[in-house]
Amino acid sequence: MGKRTPLAGQRILVTGGAGFIGSHLVDRLLRQGASRVLVIDNLFIGSEKNLAEAMATGRCEFFCDDAELPGSLAYIFERHRIDTVFNCATKALNYSFLNPANAFATNVTVALNLLELQRRNAFRTLCHFSTSEVYGSAVYEPMDESHPRNPTTTYAAGKAAADMAIESYVRMFDVDAFIVRPFNNYGPRQNYLGLLAGVIPITAWRIITGRQPELHGSGEQSRDFIYVHDTVDAVIKLYDVADPGDSVNISTDNQVTVRQLLQMICLKMDYVGEIVSKPGRKSDVLCHNASNEKVRRMIDYSLTPLEEGLGQTLLWYREQIKP
Ligand SMILES: NC(=O)c1ccc[n+]([C@@H]2O[C@H](COP(=O)([O-])OP(=O)(O)OC[C@H]3O[C@@H](n4cnc5c(N)ncnc54)[C@H](O)[C@@H]3O)[C@@H](O)[C@H]2O)c1
């Protein structure tokens, strides 16, 4: 028996639910038996296409709107009783190099808007999506939840500030809010277009469209890549057991360097050409070696091997991207 009311039968709001992780979460919540899943997304990077499966159930409603505006959230809450909110809205990390203040503000403002609604009993439970980026480069490894928060970008600084806001609202007002902290996710639906795309999608896009893959910096920067379905599964299970104010890393046990990752992608996509070297990105975190001891203690945790998840992901990009 979980600590909270089961998700089945609930009315749930997912901010940023037309994005990568958010849309998979929406699908899973509907499969889990949620009576209604509402999505607010300003389509900054999300896409209505990601919600096609959800909309087909007839139990998903999409609001193309900005969760930074209290009035936009008020509009939804005035018309719908909502039990639980999953806060996935964000603007991609790379965007913080283009518009640092707004990247920070989005992460903080959406969280504060939701906390203010929750403090006034507009809904019961908040599950907030933090990021491994709040830790910055490792001071010790593997990085557990007690690792110092040392953000190196305004994106991460906004996320760290949102985490602290949630922790303080829990202490001050006893709201039922907890934090999940995924490491690097990959999988179908991750944006592959433009400056904001992550390393796996952009490399797949470059290869499929006849361009050379690019390696930024030494390639020795390492990351912990987790398959999006594993993240969503962990979030759903953590909902039952996480204490208010808790934060929980969601990661694998494997470190892979960006160079190794590119080599894996090239191999899987039968690319035999050159990988072009590019200058490193300023403020790039060097190492993200995560501890997932806590999540393993809390839930039945299952992880898809990188080889398998990457295979499925690249297949999806092949279907989506025109050569
Ligand atoms: N993808 C990862 O590797 C990763 C890793 C760690 C944490 N996270 C966190 O998980 C959550 C989901 O990430 P994602 O990868 O799906 O990102 P994403 O960019 O695909 O999704 C975020 C969504 O938020 C929407 N959005 C942006 N500003 C908004 C606003 N003001 N109002 C409403 N919607 C807005 C975007 O349009 C987008 O659809 C984020 O909070 C992110 O920080 C992601």
pLDDT in tens, 234-258: 999 999 999 999 999 999 988 899 9
* Contact predicate 306/225, CB 8 Å: yes
Whether 67 is in the pocket of ligand 1, judged by its Cβ within 6 Å, is yes
| Residue whose entry in the numeric block shows the structure tokens 């050379």 | 212
Structure tokens at 239: 């909902």
The pLDDT, as a whole number, for residue 286 is: 75
Q: What share of the chain is helix, strand, coil (3-state, %, to 5)?
A: 40, 15, 40
- Distance from residue 132's CA to the centre of ligand 1 (Å): 14
pLDDT mean over 165-183: 98
* Confidence check: pLDDT of 53 > 80: yes
Q: Is the dihedral of CA 182, 188, 191, 192 positive or negative?
A: positive
The pLDDT, as a whole number, for residue 282 is: 73
pLDDT 10s digits, 113-153: 999 999 999 999 999 999 999 999 889 989 999 999 999 99
The pLDDT, as a whole number, for residue 223 is: 87
The pLDDT, as a whole number, for residue 256 is: 93
- Distance from residue 65's CA to the centre of ligand 1 (Å): 14
Mean pLDDT of the chain: 96
pLDDT 10s digits, 77-125: 999 999 999 999 999 999 999 999 999 999 999 999 999 999 999 999 9
User: How much of the chain exceeds pLDDT 90, in percent?
Assistant: 90
- Distance from residue 1's CA to the centre of ligand 1 (Å): 31
* Confidence check: pLDDT of 287 > 90: no
* Contact predicate 157/131, CB 8 Å: no
pLDDT 10s digits, 30-46: 999 999 999 999 999 99
Whether 92 is in the pocket of ligand 1, judged by its Cβ within 6 Å, is yes
Residue 1: pLDDT band by 50, 70, 90 thresholds? low
Whether 88 is in the pocket of ligand 1, judged by its Cβ within 6 Å, is yes
Residue 283: pLDDT band by 50, 70, 90 thresholds? low
The pLDDT, as a whole number, for residue 222 is: 86
**Angle (nearest 5°) at CA 194 between 190 and 196:** 60
- Distance from residue 227's CA to the centre of ligand 1 (Å): 16
The pLDDT, as a whole number, for residue 137 is: 83
pLDDT mean over 261-275: 97
* Confidence check: pLDDT of 280 > 80: yes
* Contact predicate 135/182, CB 8 Å: no
pLDDT mean over 267-284: 90
Q: In the chain, what are the domains?
A: 11-185+227-251 (3.40.50.720)
- Distance from residue 18's CA to the centre of ligand 1 (Å): 9
The pLDDT, as a whole number, for residue 51 is: 98
Distance CA 36, CA 43 (A): 21
Q: Which atom of ligand 1 is nearest to the CA of 43?
A: 37
pLDDT 10s digits, 217-226: 999 988 889 9
* Closest residue to atom 2 of ligand 1, CA basis: 185
Q: Which atom of ligand 1 is nearest to the CA of 68?
A: 31
Choice from 88, 94, 249 to test ligand 1 binding pocket (greatest atom count within 8 A of CB): 88
